[in-house]
Every structure is written in structure tokens, then in C-alpha cells.
Structure 1
Amino acid sequence: MTSMSPGGPREGGRTTRKIVVAGAVSFYLSVGVPGFPLRYSSKCTPRWMAGGVSGAAGHIARILRTLEEDVRLCTVVGRDILGVEIRAELDRVGLLGPEVVDGPASSMGVALVAPDGSRMGLPHLAPVNGITYPFEVMGAVARDADLLVLTNAKFVRAMVASAALLGVPIAVDVHLIADLTDEYNRPWLQAAEIVFCSHELLPCPPEVWVARVFDHYPRCRLTCVGMGARGALLGTRDGMLVRVEAVTPRGVVNTSGAGDALFATFLHVWLRTKDPVRALQTAVLHAGWKIGTRLPVTASLTDGELAELRNSHPPTTVLGRWDGGGWP
């Protein structure tokens, strides 16, 4: 793996990593529905409803900020009423900076959430999809970064090739993917050293997918598949497989953003420890804890709280090999 710089000083002798996150920040409304499939009715009272500022980049940046990383958020926020709310929330959590640029309108979305926590996301990203984000803005802040988290938002795509030339490690979560030669996601897959995705549309078992990622994309050093209720599986370039079973300390209320939590927390622990096993264990624990609330984006743990969670809910972990050894 490309060497990552040690970061700067922090109070108490700790170090901080500078992480640049690029992608969409949206206002989301989460709505509790009776279940799926939804039966048509001209009017239906929701089980509950909650709103907040989310979106993949917003959620990832917020988690990393809570974990005391030096986060710079490159995003587009509209000059509309939703934009006022989004900017106010980003300012409140310490993520509003010059990298948040103006757009004509803000992105938004709705998450329909069933009683078992399963959800259907309805993202409306059209207001920002056509924006040309100024690469000079991201490039200026990224040159001395320890990591670039480039989400697969449409307005980020045009910047990936240029970002890869900066010599800073890139991480991406391509979410729902079924084809390793997928034309849309190819720029990220070619540039990233860390690749995450969901298991939902994979054409093969996760173990096989991990091997195929490494075969197709030589720059990749770590690849992870989030498997929902089955936890997560990670492969390393040198052949190791790590599987961590899901843990839900508070039950399951809303699984929205679980993948973002897995991704962001893994990156935080990996940057500090270079231990893929510990990073995946902590990431699975954090994701499982966050989905125990109606609005997971608003609930994140600190390092100290995550350590306490590890002690009270030690994760079940299995080690294997993707390069021929299989599972024990």
C-alpha cells in the first residue's frame, strides 16, 4: 500500500489525519412505513418521521469528524431553503468550509423504512448531478491530504483521473455494483487503493468478488463487501480474508447509511493502526450500533465510546484466504 503520511500534532500527543471527502450532501426525510411492498392508499399515517442532513459524503464526513479527523468536505449546496438548512448543519458540526460551493438547488431524498429496519432510498440528486465542481478547489486542499474519499457522485466523476495524479491514496464505496467492468464506476475502480461495495447485486459470492477485484484492478490494496445482516468481508492484496459477523447492540430500527458507517469507520481505524482486522471489527460494530436509531446520521460514537462497545460486544471474526486457502 502507498505510504500514508503520519499526520500533524494534536492535543495530548495524538495525531490527526487530513481526509478530503467529495460527494453529495442532501436533506433526507426518513419515513416509517408498514412494510414492503407498500399497499396503495390515498392517505396513510406514517409510523414515524424524521429529517436531517445526510447524503453519502455528508454522512461519511460527519462520522470522521466525530472521530476527530481533520475533514475537508467538497460538495455542492444549493441557494435555496434546503441549502440554508444544510449549510447551518454543516457549520454546526464543523464541516462548512470554502470547499462547499454554491449550486442552483440542493439535493434531497426520502428513505422509506420498514419495521425490521429495511429501507428503500429515493435519492434526488438531479440538482447537483450536472454541476462542474472546480477541481482547483479540491486539488488545493487535497495535495497534502492523507486520504481522498471520492464518492461515486456524478459531479465527482470528472475529477477522479486528475485526483489520482496527486499521489494521495484514494478510497471509494461503489455501493450497488454487479459488474467489475461497469463503465460508470471504472474511473474510481482504476484509481482507488481501497474499494468498498454492497453484496446486494454481486454476481458471485463475496470471496470470489474480492479475488476478481484484485485481478482486474492492480492499484487496489484493500477491498470490502458489506453484507448487511451477515456483517462484512474484507480482502487484502496479500491474500488475507477477514469476515466479521454483524452486531446490533440496540436492535435494528433504520439501516439507512449503514454502508457509509462501515466505510468511514474502517478508514479511520485503518489510517491510525494499519490493522485491517481491527478496522473491520470496529467498523461493523459502529454500523450495527448506528442503525439502532430512527436517524442514524445524527448518531455517531467517539473513539472512546467505540472502545467501550468493543469490550461489551466483542465481534465474532473469522480469518481465511481468498488466494486458494479458503476458510478454516
Structure 2
Amino acid sequence: MTNRKRPVLLCIGDIDMDIIITVPAPPGKDQKIDGKCVARTAGGMAANVAVGASRLGTVTRLLGVVGDDEMGREALSALNYEGIDLTHSQVRVGVPTFFCVVLVDAEGEKSLVKAVSPAYLPQVSDVKAASFDGVTHVHMTFTKPDLAFAVIAQANAAGASISLDLEAADVPDDCGDVTKLIESVDLLFISENSRKAVEQRIGCQLASACRSIVMTRGPYGASVEQHGEIYEVSGHTIDVVDTTGAGDAFAAAYLHYILSGSNAVKALQAANIAGALSTQAYGGQAGMVSKTQIEEFLLAQKNEIDNA
């Protein structure tokens, strides 16, 4: 089912497999608890965004790596089924595929352990001009600085806009490169908690360093800041099963609507819905939504307001 149409969105970063275990609550130090394995599913932040955007109708390409093992074959098979262009993804010989153990508590909140391998991220040598051919937007998860700047250089050469998904946990002790990176992208995706931590570490406000910031606030909604203005949307009441990949579903929808010509307000509204609805299934990709689901949710919301 690989889509041979001209790519629009290029996602660069991690591909993994997620082993999802439900627990009453995450264990503490030297504690042992009973859990239940409920899913083994393809994941990875970059891969999740690629799947989410593809389901919404954006032609998507993915540059990532897996190992030459069963998990790697399983992850690529799932992505190929979704119609993702995997032409430029790599299989590392003799190394295991990156995977995560995801603990999901009784409220659906996740805790995550990353089993990083040499197949965690692409190498700088994997970032070639051919991967960017025909692409109008490049989305990357935070990576090693040298890899990130190689991606930015190629995206600029291709005339593509760039977005970055940044988590505080990935910010290295030397924050200088991170500040430069933020200044080099067009759009920054970040959670409210990560934003507070990152701003404290880099010693400046992100709004002064980035052209556009889209911030998620979990059940409290999201906001977009650009051109000195801020627009906010409230959260939605959802029966949460698993929050894994909710931020990726959000980013995928926002990018899809922006690339389709929508303004930031409509993109934020749709992304907020996509992120909320994604929590109704286990795993980072199972809950990715279609455009029909978003439109039906919007219509139901409008009807509730009209009938109030």
C-alpha cells in the first residue's frame, strides 16, 4: 500500500515498537507490582506523526531506522500498511530495533522506559537531498544536534518549512545548540510542562526565540502563539484509555490542516480533537483519527451548543 504520490510531509526521527503494560500505578524504587501486557504495537514519535498525518490525507514520507530483527520488520510492516513512503528509511544490520516499555496507570497516564539502540535515530550520513525531493514541510523530533542541523540545512535547500517537537527530557546539559535549533525552525511543538523546564534551562522565553509555538496542555487544551498573538482552545472530556502518542496525534493533525491551507485557529481546533480522541486506544498509532472523526466530533460539539 506504499503511496507513490508526491510527498508533502517528511517526518524524521524515531521508529520503535511499544510494549504496553497496564498497572495500578507505576512502581517505586525496589518495588514490584502486577501488570497486564495489553499491546505490542508500532510507535516512535516521528513514525506516529507520519501515520497520523497520512490517515488524515497528507502524503507522507518517513526517514528513520530500525534493526534487522522481528521488531524492525513488524514496525515497517505497520508503516507500510498505512501507506507511508519508506523509501529513505534504513535497516541497520546486526543491531536490535529501538523499543519502549510503556506503563499505563488506572487513569490512562503513561510512564515510559526507552530501550535505546544503535537503530534509535538516523545518522547524519542518512540525511541526503533525495529524501527532501518534492517535500514542502519537514517535521522532526528532537535529535542529536548535529543530526538536527543537517536536517535543517537540507530542508532550507529544498525550500521546505520546518517544525520541531521538543521534550524537556531530551534537552542536553549544554543548551546552546538547543537555543540555536529553536531559532532555526518555523514551528515548535511543546507541552506546557516541557516549556517551563526548557525555558528555565536555556534562560530565555521561547516566544522570543521561535516564530510560532504550539503548546499542548493535556486535558486543559492547547494554544498557538504567532505574530505576537495567542489563541487558546479548551480541553475535551474523554474517557481516557492510554495517553501514549496523544501529542503526536495532535502534531499530525495540526500539520495536516496547515499544509491543507487552513489557518492556525482551525488547525489548533482540529489538532486538539485529534489528540483527545487518540487516547481512546492503546498505543501511539491505533488511536490516530480520520478527518471524518474530527468533523463528526466538531458537528456534535456544535449541536450541543445549539441545543443548550
Give TM-score, length-normalised by structure 1: 0.79
Identity of aligned residues (%): 20
Corresponding residue of 1:89:
78
Corresponding residue of 1:163:
154
Go from structure 1 to structure 2 and tell me whether the alpha carbon gap of 1:119 and 1:134 turns closer, same or farther (over 3 Å shift).
same
Q: CA–CA distance in 2 between the matches of 1:291 and 1:130? A: 26
| Offset of residue 117 of structure 1 | 1.3
Corresponding residue of 1:151:
141
Corresponding residue of 2:228:
239
Q: CA–CA distance in 2 between the matches of 1:135 and 1:47? A: 38
Instruction: After superposition, give the CA deviation of every residue in 1:32-55 in whole Å (9 maximum; x if it has no partner).
Output: 11114548555x432452110000
Go from structure 1 to structure 2 and tell me whether the alpha carbon gap of 1:162 and 1:277 turns closer, same or farther (over 3 Å shift).
same
Extract unaligned runs of 5+ from structure 1: 1-9, 11-15, 317-328
Go from structure 1 to structure 2 and tell me whether the alpha carbon gap of 1:100 and 1:225 turns closer, same or farther (over 3 Å shift).
same
Corresponding residue of 1:75:
64
Secondary structure at the aligned position of 1:111 is classed as strand
Secondary structure at the aligned position of 1:60 is classed as helix
Alignment of 1:5-16 (within 5 A): none
Corresponding residue of 1:310:
298
Instruction: After superposition, give the CA deviation of every residue in 1:53-75 in whole Å (9 maximum; x if it has no partner).
Output: 00001100000111111101001
Q: CA–CA distance in 2 between the matches of 1:162 and 1:141? A: 13
Instruction: After superposition, give the CA deviation of every residue in 1:6-48 in whole Å (9 maximum; x if it has no partner).
Output: xxxx9xxxxx861111110000111111114548555x43245
Residue type of the alignment partner of 2:14:
A
* Structure 1 runs of 4+ with >6 Å offset: none
Q: CA–CA distance in 1 between the matches of 2:190 and 2:40? A: 26
Q: Which of these residues, 205, 209, 217, is aligned with residue 212 of structure 1? A: 205
Corresponding residue of 1:60:
49
Corresponding residue of 2:263:
275
| Offset of residue 126 of structure 1 | 3.1
Give TM-score, length-normalised by structure 2: 0.84
Q: CA–CA distance in 1 between the matches of 2:127 and 2:278? A: 35
Secondary structure at the aligned position of 1:102 is classed as strand
Secondary structure at the aligned position of 2:265 is classed as helix
Give the conservation status (yes or no) of the 8 Å contact 1:143–1:168.
Answer: no
Secondary structure at the aligned position of 2:244 is classed as coil
Q: CA–CA distance in 2 between the matches of 1:285 and 1:294? A: 17
| Offset of residue 306 of structure 1 | 1.2
Secondary structure at the aligned position of 2:48 is classed as helix
- Find out whether 1:264 has 2:252 as its counterpart: yes
Q: CA–CA distance in 1 between the matches of 2:27 and 2:302? A: 35
Q: CA–CA distance in 2 between the matches of 1:293 and 1:113? A: 12
Q: Which of these residues, 157, 160, 176, is aligned with residue 168 of structure 2? A: 176
Q: Which of these residues, 265, 281, 289, is aligned with residue 293 of structure 1? A: 281
Secondary structure at the aligned position of 2:114 is classed as strand
Q: CA–CA distance in 2 between the matches of 1:47 and 1:245? A: 33
- Find out whether 1:190 has 2:178 as its counterpart: no
Go from structure 1 to structure 2 and tell me whether the alpha carbon gap of 1:41 and 1:182 turns closer, same or farther (over 3 Å shift).
closer
**Please, which moves more after superposition, 272-281 or 293-302?**
293-302
How many residues matched? 291
Aligned Cα RMSD in Å? 3.0
Go from structure 1 to structure 2 and tell me whether the alpha carbon gap of 1:84 and 1:304 turns closer, same or farther (over 3 Å shift).
same
Q: Which of these residues, 9, 12, 16, is aligned with residue 22 of structure 1? A: 12
Give the conservation status (yes or no) of the 8 Å contact 2:64–2:121.
Answer: no
Q: CA–CA distance in 1 between the matches of 2:112 and 2:288? A: 21
Go from structure 1 to structure 2 and tell me whether the alpha carbon gap of 1:36 and 1:97 turns closer, same or farther (over 3 Å shift).
closer
Give the conservation status (yes or no) of the 8 Å contact 2:127–2:150.
Answer: no
